[in-house]
Amino acid sequence: MPAARGQLWESFLTQLESHLAAGDVATATSWLESYRGKESGEPWPEVLRLAQARWQEVSGQEAVAEVTYRELIKVAQMPKIRERSRQALQGILAREQQARQQAIATAMGAADAGQVGFLVVQPVGAIPREDLARRVARFFQTDVLTAKTWLPVRHPRILRLGSLGELRVYRDWFRAEGIGAGCVTPEAIAAVPVFAVDFFALVSPTQVQAVGPTGALVFDVGQVVRRVEGTVPVFSKVMAFDAQRRLTHKDQVLDRVRVCEVHLPDRVLRFHDNGYQFERGVVLTAAGATTVQARWQALMDWWEVLTPGKRYPGDFTAFGEMALGYGSFLRERVQPRLDLRGSVQSGALPLNTRQWDVCFEVFSALAFGEAP
């Protein structure tokens, strides 16, 4: 390519950039249009595509411009065109990160921004995971494969710990993408009122009385927002031989306790098969319901009849296995209120049992915080 022609297209782009930098989009538009059809030889098709993309970028069409930049980086014949396209793309990405940091700085001005909490993402449902993973990777500056593991399918996922102000920015981004997300603090979990239930009694066809150690309350079944169910493993210390045939202690699953909660707008009613008094209150006549498991199933069936379709879809076991990765943080800051063993609920419990108790406390609070 003759030097004069090289100088011409470079001078054209330089002049265009000058108009755009000055905010004179009208002149930049006229300048661009004056060269359309006038210059057709190489490398003008690529030059005009780059110029058009730059005009689109400053005209509020960054997404369209970005597609062109990425294409030119791959296929442009001129190294200078590829380099200019790469610089323009880097400019878009840099502005996104600057906007993110500015949003975090603004959010940190809130009075409670310094509180420590965790970001929770709800199952993504029918949203295409591939496209969403790419957007997540871009926003959080990570790779697509990692981003894909952050998107839950069966249960809420704790994505990261941090200051409440910063986490709110991430929460808002997920919500803008159509994904349920929230910021939760240990203080918010502790603030959820939990009412322990010994048994239920039917007051009328539409009213139920919950009776527990601290009293009783009557509510209409129409008030029930959701039912949360889960199975919590209970561990016990046992003696066993290790690989070197040395006698040692280890935690072993002793039992699996089925837990259910009835969520009202202002409180949680919690009960489990290890403490529910089946012989009191409503009588559930189920064929062969002589074991605890059969009686519990009859109780769950009764609640399904009273509140059809209100069962919370989250998988607690899968959630708990994920949440154990944050075991140290949760164990230190979240106090479990799931009394599975009566007076035995103390610091002497095996660590694994307490971890799962805490996981259920978090799972319950996340469900309680969701809109009905």
pLDDT digits (tens, 9 = 90+) for 47-96: 778 878 887 888 788 888 888 889 889 988 888 888 888 998 999 999 98
Lowest pLDDT segment from 23-27, 155-159, 256-260, 361-365: 23-27
Which pLDDT belongs to residue 357? 87
Which pLDDT belongs to residue 344? 40
Q: What is the DSSP letter of 307?
A: S
- Residue at token pair 């994904």: 179
In contact, 251 and 171? CB cutoff 8 Å: no
CA pair distance 181, 119, nearest whole angstrom: 7
pLDDT band of residue 343 (cuts 50, 70, 90) is very low
Write the pLDDT tens digit of every residue in 269-308. Answer: 999 998 999 989 988 866 556 788 889 999 999 999 999 9
For the chain, where are the E strands, in sequence order? 116-121, 157-163, 181-184, 194-196, 199-204, 207-212, 215-220, 226-241, 247-264, 267-272
Q: At residue 362, does pLDDT exceed 60?
A: yes
pLDDT band of residue 153 (cuts 50, 70, 90) is confident
Lowest pLDDT segment from 11-15, 56-60, 76-80, 246-250: 246-250
Distances (CA, A) of 38 to 48, 54, 72, 193, 318: 11, 19, 21, 74, 64
Which pLDDT belongs to residue 340? 64
In the sheet that 194-196 helps form, which strands lie side by side, from edge to edge? 194-196, 267-272, 247-264, 226-241
Mean predicted confidence (pLDDT) in 26-40: 66
- Residue at token pair 């959080």: 140
Distances (CA, A) of 325 to 32, 130, 157, 223, 356: 56, 25, 11, 35, 12
Structural domains in the chain plus CATH codes: 3-105 (1.25.40), 116-184 (3.30.1390), 194-349 (no CATH)
